[in-house]
Structure 1
């Protein structure tokens, strides 16, 4: 693995020494159901970049109408990914089930998004977890405490 650096919310990690392939660790936007999720995205720049779009693939799973199970996206993530997560386009889906659910039952769709975040988009899912297991257990206890408080705080109908 090559050098890594931080770019606002993203962590960028070069694959090999060239500048053409790298991973980006991307955090879901704070407004919306992807909040709290973190995805590792593999970006490959074509030789003709920037005249040709980079190819982008999600390494871990995400539930979204415009990302299929193969998770290959072609576009630039600086604007595109946050926009994509916040404003999905169910009329042109790659994941038909997600699109149908989103149009039929928005709440159930957002619930499914959050389940996928919980299951597949934790920092440890992209290999960014701390090694120390004992602190891990303490963390999960703290998390369950804080999630109780959050539930109490969300008394909106």
Structure 2
């Protein structure tokens, strides 16, 4: 399943994989387009977020992931638990240089006009097509991250 998340002018495509035991087992979440963030692996897009990876509860659902957990992660990075060590080190050493790099990645990889440009990743024959996901609910706007 792919999901589109938009914060102001930036657009990220997010990969969501639901395990057979969902909601008792957490989904796997990853960014499809590149993002410069201490808690996101730059190559795979994997997300390091305790509430998804370690403290998941069946009381949570995908609405929590997209409306609370991911926006909080984007707005409040945790450089002390990094998947991207370079981003974490830069954030702690030189905050303005870190914010400039984040801006460069947003401008290069998270452009609204590129929303359909990323290649599709199909994990099974049962996965619905991208057209089935597109609706007004799939795009949410909010404040831009730093």
Alignment of 1:105-120 (within 5 A): 105-120=94-109
Secondary structure of the 1:65 match is coil
Aligned to 2:110: 121
Give 4+ residue runs of structure 1 displaced > 2 Å after superposition.
Answer: 73-78
Alignment of 1:1-157 (within 5 A): 22-28=1-7, 35-69=8-42, 70-73=44-47, 75=52, 76-127=65-116
Give the number of equivalent residue pairs: 101
**Distance in 1 between residues matched to 2:72 and 2:31, nearest whole Å:** 16
Residue range with higher mean Cα deviation, 119-128 or 109-118? 119-128
Report Cα offsets for 1:61-98 as digits up to 9, x if no partner: 00000001211126333311100001100001000000
**Distance in 2 between residues matched to 1:88 and 1:102, nearest whole Å:** 9
- Contact map agreement 1:60 1:125 (CA 8 A) in 2: no
Q: Could you state the TM-score of these two structures normalised by the residue count of structure 1?
A: 0.60
Structure with greater strand percent: 1
**Distance in 2 between residues matched to 1:124 and 1:111, nearest whole Å:** 21
Aligned to 1:151: none
CA RMSD of aligned residues (A): 1.5
The higher radius of gyration belongs to 1
